[in-house]
Amino acid sequence: MSTTLEADTFDDLLHSVFDRLIADGQRIVPTRGPALEETAVLLRLTDPLARLSRSARRSTVVSALGELCWYLHGSDDVAHVAYYVPQYRREAIDGQLLGAYGPRLFGSGGSGQLNRVIEILKRRPDSRQAVVQLFDADDLSRAKDVPCTCTLQFLLREGRLELIVHMRSNDAFLGLPHDLFAFTMFQELVARSVGAKLGAYSHFVGSLHLYDEHRAAVDAYRDEGWFAQSTAAMPPMPAGDPWAAVEVLLDAEQRIRLTPAEEYEAEGLADGYWGDLAKVLAAFRLRRRPERLPAIAASLANQFYGIYVTDRIHAGGAAL
Ligand code: 5HM
């Protein structure tokens, strides 16, 4: 039997995912630990801008944004992504992640699949061939770091860009918030690149599961209750081709990550949408120098990100 769960915001969707898994999930015992599982689940987010949890406990903005930058860099270097998501270290072989999405998405010299998808949609807006393939036939010969995402299909219909993602396996607590963030950001990047509005986001999962080890954290998240829908949507990306601004963000991200925290001064960050994303990463870098954070919060173009900057003052900064 298959299940469809639809919501306008990520928190609403996540609550129904956890409700469903806890009420109806089947017990499985894979090598990564016992879990509750539901198979063939379609998750639909009607507003892909509402891609971030506004909760205190599932607010993964830094790790999700950091992982997105790692994808956009086209990198397979574990040291880069482990700065944001330390769990990746378990998957690496000699410092490299063989299943990394970045090289598969962006290749080198503009040869990547995402670029080709944009070209296809510009030439043939009704195309059904704008598909990025992440899971590869060669992945069947490895047990470690096998991509969980199979395909991303972009469909341009009535001026709106829909994205349909197929995942073979998705960890509802750690993986899902990151995957949904990154993929809806790709959706918006492609939409801006072809001059389209955002359509719905559909996320189809073969095995959606909740590990027993995350159950206490999930219960705490569920106890936090519900969040105001009116404040759930991220600001929209500015109109026009986004890729020059992405390069500026990637340069800033690299500088922030590689400068020792005690020497980092958060200077020269851009203003506006892309600058705000860099400022969230800068606040994470400066989490142990909390006296620097109010100035960063005050310089944000959009106070949507204010909670993610000022939370660092209280949390001391766990990424996940
Ligand atoms: O045994 P398997 O290869 O499916 O284990 C990978 C674990 O990482 C699963 O719990 C999977 O759902 C999770 N995962 C995820 O949720 C992994 C990746 C990396 O591709 C991901 N989302 N993007």
**15-67: pLDDT as tens digits:** 999 999 999 999 999 999 999 999 999 999 999 999 999 887 777 899 999 99
Q: Is 179 in the pocket of ligand 1 (CB under 6 A)?
A: yes
Give the number of the atom of ligand 1 that is nearest the alpha carbon of residue 207: 12
Whether the pLDDT of residue 111 is over 90: the answer is: no
Query: Looking only at Cα atoms, what is the longest distance across the chain?
Result: 55
CA 147–ligand 1 middle distance (angstroms)? 7
CA 162–ligand 1 middle distance (angstroms)? 24
Task: Give pLDDT, residue 110.
Answer: 59
Token pair for residue 225? Answer: 């209750």
Give the number of the atom of ligand 1 that is nearest the alpha carbon of residue 168: 4
Instruction: Please give the Cα distance from 249 to 257 (Å, whole number).
Output: 12
Confidence class for position 318, pLDDT limits 50, 70, 90: very low
Q: Which domains does the chain have, with CATH numbers?
A: 3-231 (3.30.572.10), 243-314 (no CATH)
Neighbours of 270 (CB within 10 A): 17
For 94, residues 6+ apart whose C-beta sits below 8 A from its C-beta are none
CA 54–ligand 1 middle distance (angstroms)? 24
Q: Is 171 in the pocket of ligand 1 (CB under 6 A)?
A: yes
Give the whole-number percent of the chain exceeding pLDDT 90: 88
Mean pLDDT of 265-274: 95
Q: Which of 163, 193, 195 is nearest to 51 (CA)?
A: 163
- Residue reference for tokens 């142990």: 288
Q: Is 134 in the pocket of ligand 1 (CB under 6 A)?
A: no
Q: How many residues does the chain have?
A: 320
Token pair for residue 68? Answer: 């997105």
Q: 167-212 pLDDT, tens per residue? A: 999 999 999 999 999 999 999 999 999 999 999 999 999 999 999 9
Give the number of the atom of ligand 1 that is nearest the alpha carbon of residue 176: 16
Task: Give pLDDT, residue 142.
Answer: 87
Confidence class for position 267, pLDDT limits 50, 70, 90: very high
Which of 60, 63, 170 to mutate to test ligand 1, by most ligand atoms within 8 A of the CB atom? 170
For 169, residues 6+ apart whose C-beta sits below 8 A from its C-beta are 148, 205, 206, 207, 209
CA 170–ligand 1 middle distance (angstroms)? 5
Instruction: Tell me which of 25-29, 248-252, 289-293 is least confident.
Output: 289-293
Nearest residue (by CA) to ligand 1, atom 11, is 170
Q: Which of 257, 129, 256, 117 is nearest to 189 (CA)?
A: 117
Give the whole-number percent of the chain exceeding pLDDT 70: 95
Task: Give pLDDT, residue 274.
Answer: 98
Whether the pLDDT of residue 80 is over 80: the answer is: yes
Task: Give pLDDT, residue 317.
Answer: 39
Task: Give pLDDT, residue 108.
Answer: 67
Whether the pLDDT of residue 152 is over 50: the answer is: yes
What value does the mean pLDDT of the chain take? 94
What residues form DSSP beta bridges with 166?
151, 204
Task: Give pLDDT, residue 313.
Answer: 60
pTM, 2 dp: 0.96
Q: Is 147 in the pocket of ligand 1 (CB under 6 A)?
A: yes
Mean pLDDT of 144-168: 97
Q: Is 181 in the pocket of ligand 1 (CB under 6 A)?
A: no
Give the number of the atom of ligand 1 that is nearest the alpha carbon of residue 211: 10
Whether the pLDDT of residue 320 is over 50: the answer is: no
Token pair for residue 29? Answer: 């015992």
pLDDT: which is higher, 229 or 89: 89
* Residue 102 half-sphere exposure toward CB, CA atoms < 13 A: 19
Confidence class for position 319, pLDDT limits 50, 70, 90: very low
Instruction: Please give the Cα distance from 259 to 251 (Å, whole number).
Output: 12
What residues form DSSP beta bridges with 96?
77, 93
CA 4–ligand 1 middle distance (angstroms)? 21
Q: Is 67 in the pocket of ligand 1 (CB under 6 A)?
A: no
Q: Is 173 in the pocket of ligand 1 (CB under 6 A)?
A: no
CA 22–ligand 1 middle distance (angstroms)? 19
Neighbours of 191 (CB within 10 A): 25
Instruction: Please give the Cα distance from 256 to 189 (Å, whole number).
Output: 23
Whether the pLDDT of residue 230 is over 80: the answer is: no
Nearest residue (by CA) to ligand 1, atom 8, is 171
Q: Is 149 in the pocket of ligand 1 (CB under 6 A)?
A: yes
For 136, residues 6+ apart whose C-beta sits below 8 A from its C-beta are 104, 147
Q: Is 170 in the pocket of ligand 1 (CB under 6 A)?
A: yes
| In contact, 261 and 288? CB cutoff 8 Å | yes
